[in-house]
A = this chain, B = another copy of it.
Amino acid sequence: MKLSKRGEYGLRAMADLAAQTPLGGVVPLKDIAQREQIPAKFLEQILLALKNAGLLGSKMGIGGGYHLARPADQITLGQIVRVLDGPLAPIRCVSKMAYEPCACPDEATCGLRLVMLDVRNAIADILDGTTLADVAHRVEVARIERR
């Protein structure tokens, strides 16, 4: 039931990009790494994976950097986590995106499977229902409420 560092760093970096990217601009990896306290070389691999998955765009050379491939309200946390950590489901036989049969003789009446399906749906509802824009909004609300 754990999110890997890879997944955590990726989510933080994407949220950072959503908040910090100037209009039509680009953010260098080093800036993200510094702000979010992520080892730069590790972040490289992570952003590369997100780029290959079509969630990020990049610009090479001086003044280059990364930017979201789509507006922040069209990128969900579920998409990001699936790229970096694989399926959301706790066991493969309840995964929608990466189903695999399990050992039990009859899936339809497997008690464990029924419960884990509930768990996977609960997780997916939250992660697929939350966009980077939603995250930014919640941070704003939390900041105001604390005053």
Which residues of A are at the interface with B, using a C-beta cutoff of 8 A? 1-3, 8, 11-12, 15, 37, 77, 81, 85-91, 103-104, 108-112, 114-116, 118-119, 122-123, 125-127, 130, 135-136, 138-139, 142-143, 146
In the assembled complex, 14 residue pairs joining A and B whose CB atoms fall closer than 8 Å, in A order, are: A1-B2, A1-B90, A1-B123, A2-B90, A37-B103, A109-B139, A109-B142, A110-B139, A111-B136, A111-B138, A115-B138, A118-B126, A119-B127, A123-B123
Do the beta carbons of B146 and A108 come within 8 Å of each other?
yes
B residues in contact with A11, CB < 8 Å: 112
Task: Say whether, besides A119-B127, A126-B122, A1 and B112 are in contact (CB < 8 Å).
Answer: no
**Copies of this chain, count:** 2
Do the beta carbons of A111 and B123 come within 8 Å of each other?
no
Do the beta carbons of B15 and A143 come within 8 Å of each other?
no
B residues in contact with A3, CB < 8 Å: 1, 90-91, 116
B residues in contact with A112, CB < 8 Å: 8, 11-12, 15, 135
Task: Say whether, besides A1-B85, A3-B90, A91-B8, A111 and B135 are in contact (CB < 8 Å).
Answer: yes
> What's the minimum C-beta distance from A136 to chain B, rounded to whole angstroms?
7
> What's the minimum C-beta distance from A4 to chain B, rounded to whole angstroms?
9
